[in-house]
Each structure stands twice: as structure tokens, then as C-alpha cells.
């Protein structure tokens, strides 16, 4: 792969300092199109790190300017992890998008979001100075309550692995190690305010779509479509729903398979971005 221009960036907004990496589009294949990558939460962000790095490199090599960044209270950005929340991350994504558009000068933009990052990308697009061309939502969190339940189950599984039979049997151990079970997910803090914000995520938040098009890649498209219908959400033609063909347990603290990179997701994204804006 050709050498790419990688630039560390610092983004200041509302008293928050974010850290990101900007990849300029390869000069010989300029697409005049910028892409923002929105991280998921906690351990899911750790497991998605290589995917986002490879995705950004492939995008830049294909002529797209790219910015990936850490929300306030996560990664290399300022703030304590207890300060991370959904609404703040949406504002961070909005600031990151403005930085990306200013640096790239691109007249068009798109965004990618994995898991909770999909909800953040969607809401940030609603604040954007101009509509997105495409939103790629990977295994998106459509039901916040169900997501929190799954996180709690993954957290319990991790504790059982770490402490074995002692964990369910010893109330003293549970209280000393995790006095407020709902406040943590695989080592990452979930504040009460953040929990409320996640619980507020519902399928109805998909609409109206703040983009010309969107792709939802999910583990089971048929089940997701049924869930959307039960929630009274009828997907418009500009939103495509398809199987991700990659059943991945993102919510785990296991080091195994942290380098997951479904290359067909990247090919899907490149194909979607190449479509004319009026398609």
C-alpha cells in the first residue's frame, strides 16, 4: 500500500480536548469526500481498533480523507472514563466532523459507526452543517435497554472467568470488587446519566435519516427487520439492511481475536461511497 500522510490532531470544543488521527486522501485519486469514523464504547472500542485503522488506510488510499478520534473520557483524549457519556460523545463527533471538513475541504462527507458508535454517528449527522452522503452502521445498537442487558451478561461472564465459583458464592467478594454492579461494564464506568442516555436509544431514532443513504449490517437481517416492524419502524428505500456475515462478540474483555477486520465490510463501504450522490 502507498505511503499515506498521517497527522495527529487535537480538537478543542466546549472545554473538552479530543485526540484523533487524520489521514489525507491519496493525491492521485482524490474523491473530494471525507469519512468520519465513530468509535463504539469500552471494550468494543478496543476490539475495533484494528478494524478502524485498516479501514482508514484503505479509505485514504482510495482517495477519501479520514478522521478517527477518541471521545472525551476515552482513549487518548482528555477526561476521566467516568465522564464519558453518549450525549457528550455526540457533541464530540460533531466537533470532529467540523475539523475533518475544515482540514479536507471536501464538499461531501460520510460516517461509519460500530455498535454504540452507530447511534453516535447517526445523531452527529443530525447536527452536521450539511447532510451526509452515506452512513455505514455496523451491528448498530438499536435498543439501548437490550444493549445494557447484554453488557451486564458479558460483565458477569468475565467475572466468572476471573474468580470462578467464588464470584457467585461470595457476597463479600462481589461487594468489595463491584459494589455497584450497574456502574461498570468490562472495566469501563457507566454513570447513571450515561445509563439513562443509552436506555433512551430505540429503533425510532433511525428516522428521519440524516443522510442520502445508509447501510445497516447486522448479524441477523431477518430478525432485525422483524424487531423494527414490531417497533413500528418501516425502513425507507434509502436504508438498506443486510447480514454482516460476521458474527462477532464485540462486548468481551478477552484478548482473543482483538484484531478482527472483516474486509468485506470495507469493500461494502468503498462500493457505497462510490455510488453517485443522487442514486
Q: Spell out the alpha helix ranges (H) of the chain.
A: 43-61, 86-104, 116-127, 144-163, 166-169, 171-177, 192-199, 221-230, 263-274
Local confidence band at 239 (pLDDT 50, 70, 90 cut-offs): very high
213/228 Cα distance (integer angstroms): 18
Quick one: what percent of the chain has pLDDT higher than 90?
72
> Which residue's C-alpha cell is 452507530?
118
177 burial via Cβ count (<10 Å: 0-12, 13-18, 19+)? middle
Q: Does residue 157 carry a pLDDT above 80? A: no
SS3 content of the chain, % helix, strand, coil (to 5): 45, 20, 35
The residue extents of the domains of the chain are 6-144+202-274
Is 3.40.50.1820 the CATH classification of the domain at 6-144+202-274? yes
Q: In this predicted structure, which of 99-108, 118-127, 152-161, 182-191 has the lowest mean pLDDT?
A: 152-161
Global pTM reads: 0.89
Question: Tell me: the pLDDT tens digits for 75-90?
Answer: 999 999 899 999 999 9
**Residue pair 37/20 in contact by the 8 Å Cβ criterion:** no
**Bond prior to 81 in cis (omega within 30° of 0):** no
Question: Tell me: the pLDDT tens digits for 207-230?
Answer: 999 999 999 999 999 999 999 999
Q: Return the axis-axis angle of helices 43-61 and 116-127, rounded to nearest 10°.
A: 60
74/66 Cα distance (integer angstroms): 20
Quick one: what percent of the chain has pLDDT higher than 70?
84
Amino acid at each position: 500500500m502507498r505511503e499515506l500522510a498521517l497527522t495527529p490532531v487535537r480538537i478543542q470544543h466546549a472545554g473538552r480536548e479530543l485526540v484523533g488521527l487524520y489521514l489525507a486522501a491519496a493525491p492521485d485519486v482524490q474523491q473530494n469526500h471525507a469519512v468520519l469514523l465513530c468509535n463504539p464504547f469500552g471494550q468494543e472500542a478496543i476490539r475495533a481498533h484494528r478494524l478502524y485503522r485498516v479501514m482508514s488506510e484503505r479509505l485514504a488510499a482510495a482517495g477519501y480523507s479520514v478522521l478517527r478520534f477518541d471521545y472525551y473520557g476515552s482513549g487518548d483524549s482528555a477526561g476521566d472514563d467516568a465522564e464519558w457519556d453518549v450525549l457528550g460523545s455526540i457533541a464530540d463527533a460533531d466537533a470532529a466532523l467540523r475539523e475533518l471538513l475544515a482540514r479536507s475541504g471536501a464538499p461531501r462527507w460520510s460516517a461509519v459507526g460500530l455498535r454504540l458508535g452507530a447511534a453516535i454517528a447517526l445523531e452527529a449527522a443530525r447536527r452536521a452543517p450539511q447532510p451526509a452522503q452515506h452512513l455505514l452502521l455496523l451491528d448498530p445498537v438499536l435498543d439501548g435497554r437490550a444493549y445494557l442487558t447484554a453488557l451486564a451478561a458479558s460483565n458477569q461472564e468475565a467475572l466468572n472467568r476471573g474468580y470462578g465459583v467464588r464470584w457467585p458464592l461470595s457476597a463479600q467478594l462481589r461487594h468489595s470488587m463491584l459494589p455497584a454492579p450497574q456502574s461498570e461494564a468490562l472495566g469501563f464506568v457507566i454513570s447513571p446519566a450515561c445509563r439513562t442516555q443509552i436506555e433512551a436509544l430505540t429503533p425510532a431514532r433511525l428516522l428521519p435519516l440524516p443522510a442520502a443513504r445508509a447501510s445497516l449490517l447486522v448479524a441477523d437481517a431477518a430478525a432485525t427487520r422483524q424487531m423494527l416492524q414490531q417497533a413500528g419502524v418501516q425502513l425507507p428505500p434509502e436504508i438498506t439492511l443486510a447480514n454482516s456475515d460476521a458474527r462477532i462478540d464485540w462486548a468481551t474483555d478477552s484478548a482473543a481475536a482483538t484484531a478482527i477486520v472483516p474486509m468485506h465490510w470495507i469493500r461494502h463501504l468503498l462500493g457505497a461511497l462510490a455510488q453517485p450522490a443522487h442514486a
